[in-house]
Structure formats: C-alpha cells, structure tokens
Structure 1
C-alpha cells in the first residue's frame, strides 16, 4: 500500500522556510498586481502536501471572485488524464496502442488516414490539426461533440501520420470517442468510474453533470464553486459559448473540458508518482505509468532528430522542454513531465524528487512567457532535502 497524502506545514515537507516564503510572496504578487484574478497553488512531496493555497486579486471583477473551495476549468490538463483512461483500456486488453483508429471509428476513413493509430493520437503525431477550421462557429452554435468528431473525420491532414509532431486537440476528441465505443460508456462516465471515483476525486468531472446544476440533496449547486475565467478577446461577448458558459462547462471536451480542484489534482499527481496507486486503490499498473511518462517519440524514425530529442511526448504527458519558452521549470530534470492549460493552468511531476506542483489561475496563458515557470523555479529551489 502507498500512503494517502497528508497535509503538513511546508517545512515538514523539506522546504526551506525562507524559500517557501518567496514562493507564496510571488504567488500573492501575481494577484496583488492583478496579473490573474485568482491563483491556487498546491505542492506534493514524498506523500505529503501543502494543501491548496488560494490567492485573489482585490481588483478582480465580482464574477471572477473565488469561493472557499473553488473548482477550476483546467483546459488541456484534461489531455494526460484522458490519455491514462486510454492506457487503462490497453491494460485491460480492450485495445492496443498500435491499433488503427478506423477500426474503432469506421467513419474515420480515407487512404491518407487509414494508418493513423491510437499511439499517433496520444503522441500528437497523427497529422491532424489542433482545432477544426470552423471551431469557433461550432461553439457559437453550441454544437454537440458529434459535430466535432464528424469534422475531424473529414478535415485534411497536415502531414502523413508519424512524419511530424503537431499539437492536436482533435486527436483527443477521437480518443474520447474511442473510450466511449470500446468501454460501452460515455467517456466522461468511464473516467468517473475508472479513475475519479476510486481515487476519491469527488470534485472532478469531465463536463459538469446535471447533478452539479440541480442537486437532489438540498446542497448548493456545485457549479457555483466554478471560478470564472478572464476570457481572451476572441471570446468576449460569447457568454453563451465561451469558457464561462453553461454550454462549455457542461460540454466536457475530451481535449480541454475537465473541471477539478487543486486537492483532487494533487491526488492524481500522487497516484502517478506512486506508479498508479493511491492508498489501497490501484488504477494503473507501474508498467503503464512508466511507459506513459517517458518520451515516446524515439519510436518514430521519420521524425526529425531535434523533435525527438528536445520536444518529447509521452502518452498525453509532455516532457519538460528545457529550451522552449513554455518550459514547466528551468530546474527540473529530463524525467519531469506535465501539461499546460490555456485557461492559465499547469501541473508538473518530477519523479526524481517525488515532487509535483499544481498551479491553477484564471488568466489565459500568453505565448512566449509565463509567470508560472518562474514560480515553479522558486518551488524547486525552495526544496532543501
């Protein structure tokens, strides 16, 4: 058995007090200067955790204020978690990662895409685009996921599968559909039953279910705890389809619709650190976790050597691209892995240090710079043991 997380003071986790004070000062400064309306931070180290630390901008609009126990739309942090659901199906013998996508989704046909495999989708090597050309129009129409799937089945590839690496959210739309068709459950329910519920992640859902809007037990609707995001210019005026809309909060996009808390994500990070087990509960095998969290691009001989070496992908997990502007942290080693989210979120895991950090904001990421990288540097530097 692996121990469940225990909340302890940072110094009991091995953090130098002055270094940890710098971490909290930097986090508080982000809100004091209104860089982000809300910031939640939680760190995990050797089966211990700080618990969630919350910061709030005094200048934030009332609609962006935080509750005492906030839930965040974590955007693309969804991808590695969904990917672990796919890997779990592989563990159970229900699919193999080199199976062709068309064998699960027959409408995903055509000579150019018949060779695309589940592995290609997991590693962003399928040739699919990130988003569909009519992505915004679909969202404005409040289209169901089936419209995104049918569009992905028809959209031209940007390169033949395995010949390049390109971030592709639409590949994760297909992975969600594969989970549904293979498991016989909607992908959101499968992840709930196979991962979230067993791990005790009770405030996590891939799309807010009806019970979050209309609870039957007299409790306040859980959706009232979802923190509003300071939407980017291209979403302004889209109150019926943007990140803060009921449509998008309920949609459960397989590529970016996860709703969760720092505490729940800390449990998931600890599960990964412990080889797929949390307390008495095992949801993944050590072998699956080991494969999912190492660079898988070495298997593709047609990729450039530079891509394979410096911009690695596991199964859904991105390795820390040290020389890239969006590195998780300048002080993490090559075994670290994690993911960014467009809503201003980041989590990363360093197995060498038994260390993980969850950093959730409500300020969309800016290209080319991130205050979260600087804060991650301070977290790692503060660890004294």
Structure 2
C-alpha cells in the first residue's frame, strides 16, 4: 500500500496564522514569518507584524531575518560537502589545518568535536563584547579561540560552543581557498536557489533604493547589546561579518528551500544531487551515542548530530512537543527555529526578531500548532 503524502488542514493552518497575527497585533511579538511544507511543496508561508519601526508588514516584500544559530547547521552542511569530496574527515585534528590552534593543550580536538559541541571550547570568548566593539575580523575571533584553554578534554563532555563553528569556518576557508561565506554562497545557496540569503551581507545589499538591506528586519537586542549600536545584531558590522556561528541572513522562502533540499536527501529542486544520503544520515543521527566518555544523560536525552540538534525527549523548548523521534533542526538567539521531520516528511520554520531563550516560549507554542495542522 502506497503511503499518501501529508496534507495541510486549511482550518488548522488558519489557526496558526490567527495566533501569529494576534501576537503581533497585541505587540507580544514585533513581527513573525512562518512556513511549512513537504519535499515538493511549500504549503504555507506568511509574514505578519511590523518589520520596521512604526511600519506594518507589506505583503509584496519577503522580509529578511538574521537567523542567528540556525547558521551553524548550514555551515556544517558545507563541511559535509568537503568530507564527501575527500578533503576532510571527522577524525582530522583541527591542528592539521590550523597549527596555531594547538596552544593550551588543544591538540586532541577533532572536527567531529566541533560539529557535536564536544570540543570543550567556549560558547563565546571572555572578551566577546570587546572584540565586537573593536569591529574584530573573523580571523581575530579565530586567533583568540586558538589562545583559549578547553573546559574539558575533547569528547568528554557537551558544552554548546559557538567558537567551535568559528574554527570550522576557518577550516572550510583554508581547505577550499575561499572564504566560508563565498563557499556557502557558491556551493549551497546558488544550487539550491536561495536568492536572498547570505552569510554576511555583501556590500551590494546596501546599495540603491532596491537594496536587500531595506528588507532586513531589525532585532530586539538583549540588554547586553542595548548600547552597542555600532556592533550589535542590527549594526552594519555584525550584519556583514558573516559569523559562521550566527551571521546568516535569509527569508522564510529561502530557508524553506534549504529544508526541502534536506527532506529530498540532498537533491535540489532542479534535480541536482548536491549532497549524498549517506552524508545527511550521518549529520542527522545521534553522534553522541558512540562517545563513551560523554555522560549517559547527554547521549540519551540531549543528542546532537553534526551541527543539528536532534529532538530531545521531555524538552519543549523551541521545537515544541509533537514532533517525531527523528526530527532534527536548530534554533537561533534572535528568536528563530527550523525543524525537519523526515518520518512525517514535513518541515517548519518560524522567524521572529524577539530573543526567546532559554525556553523559546512563542516558538514552541506555534511549533505545536503547525505540527498539529498536518494530517
């Protein structure tokens, strides 16, 4: 018996839009874009709210969001391309590509540790704010990471680490002889058809009245960034830096195309095989399971793939409560989430500009209503 494709219940999807509209109309959220679909169709996509101060959402423009840490699995996907081509392996040591990384007893860190948050590197550097105030380059962030000690020996714990992806971006650059941003643009975004996406806004986004920057939605910045107009999430510096740990700009439509590419197991809309099923399977299975020195609770209850957070049992944050056991995705500190359920053959994404950590209060609630709209 052939399994029928999932369908979106119109009234239930309308309830998703109604809830989002209510939150924006009552100023609970400034703005929101959401999309859901299957391998072949974006079944629902809308945006609502004020994307610029005192300006209501216009329905003829697709707003661009800073998606923060959803950037990480995109960069991980770029690394998988190089692994497929025989240019990297997960067992390679970081020092094979960045010799200076070995300071302070970091010689044992492998690429797999960067991709699974088991390296022992910090999430943010102790002088993160000072670096941003000085408009530090990505190279400077990597230099500083090379100087830092580890919180624990690699592979013996789990600590969410943005700086691991700073290092991974530098490895991609050194191996490919292109910047990480350029590699991702040419090898992922262009073949997938993501026309309004960039890891760091290029200069041309700022030029002319039709420039893409006019469509970028400003974020509600946390208190720690309130005085940093020259370096916070809304500054030109940060939007152009292209941080591999959180600097991607994109639209709901473009991110939907990326999700569909993964649901199709590495095939683009045009039919091009860009990534192998083997690579996607490796990226989306529990990589902690085979790390015997990682605590059992982490391996069973908070699993990670390669750049992807898997569905954590008894944990509602961001993903909600109604997703299948093989669901994978990621969230972003600016108030964003993307999840993909390969068993149900559906994806969903919610993009806002309101930080919601640690619980993802509105993300998880809307995620539940989206999951319940499929039948």
Tell me the TM-score normalised to structure 2 length: 0.94
CA distance in structure 2 between the aligned counterparts of 1:190 and 1:202, rounded to whole angstroms: 15
Residues 79 and 316, structure 1, Cα contact 8 Å, conserved in 2:
yes
- Other structure's SS at 1:143 match: coil
User: Secondary structure of 2:351's match?
Assistant: strand
Deviation at 1:278, TM superposition (A): 1.5
Deviation at 1:26, TM superposition (A): 1.3
Query: Are 1:253 and 2:246 matched, yes or no?
Result: no
- 2:7/2:374 contact within 8 Å kept: yes
Summarize the Cα distance change of 1:87–1:300 in structure 2 as closer, same or farther, 3 Å threshold.
same
Partner of 1:266: 256
**Secondary structure at 2:100's aligned position in 1?**
coil
Superposition pairs of residues 285-324 of structure 1, within 5 angstroms? 285-324=276-315
* Deviation readout 1:60-98 (Å, 9 max, x if unpaired): 733896672211100001000000000110000011110
> Cα offset for 1:273?
0.5
Among 350, 355, 362, the residue aligned to 2:346: 355
In structure 2, distance between residues paired with 1:63 and 1:238: 23
Give yes or no for contact 1:31–1:55 (8 Å, CA) kept in 2: yes
Deviations 1:205-249 (A, max 9, x none): 00001121226xxx6211111111111111112111110000000
Residues 374, 46 of structure 1: alpha-carbon distance in 2 compared, 3 angstrom cutoff: same
Q: Return closer, same or farther for 1:63/1:161 CA change in 2, 3 Å cut-off.
A: farther
Match of 2:149 among 152, 156, 179: 156
Match of 2:367 in 1: 376
1:205, 1:57 → 2: CA distance? Answer: 23
Structure 1 residue matching 2:214: 3-state secondary structure: helix
Contact 2:191–2:268 (CA under 8 A) maintained in structure 1: no
Gaps of 5+ in 1: 1-11
Greater than 4 Å deviation, 4+ residue runs: 63-67
Question: Contact 2:238 / 2:247 at 8 angstroms: preserved in 1?
Answer: yes
Matched with 1:4 is none
* 1:179 aligned partner: 172
Q: Provide the residue aligned with 2:140 in structure 1.
A: 147
The answer as to 2:309 corresponding to 1:326 is no
Match of 1:5 in 2: none
1:60-99, aligned counterparts within 5 Å? 61-62=53-54, 68-99=61-92
Shift of 1:32: 1.6
- Three-state SS of the structure 1 residue aligned to 2:243 is coil
Contact 1:64 1:227 (C-alpha < 8 Å) held by counterparts: no
| Residue 357 of structure 2: aligned partner | 366
Q: Distance in 2 between matches of 1:221 and 1:173?
A: 28
Conserved 8 A contact 2:49-2:56: no
- 1:64–1:87: structure 2 CA closer, same or farther, 3 Å change rule? farther
Q: Could you tell me the TM-score, scaled by structure 1's length?
A: 0.92
Answer whether contact 1:63 1:228 (CA < 8 A) is retained.
no
Deviates more, 1:233-242 or 1:317-326: 317-326
**Aligned equivalents of 1:101 and 1:89: distance in 2?**
15
- Paired residues of 1:51 and 1:263 also in contact (CA < 8 A): no
CA contact (8 A) 1:320 1:327 kept: no
Structure 2: 5+ residue runs without aligned partners?
Answer: none
User: Matched residue pairs, number?
Assistant: 369
Alpha carbon RMSD of aligned pairs, Å? Answer: 1.8
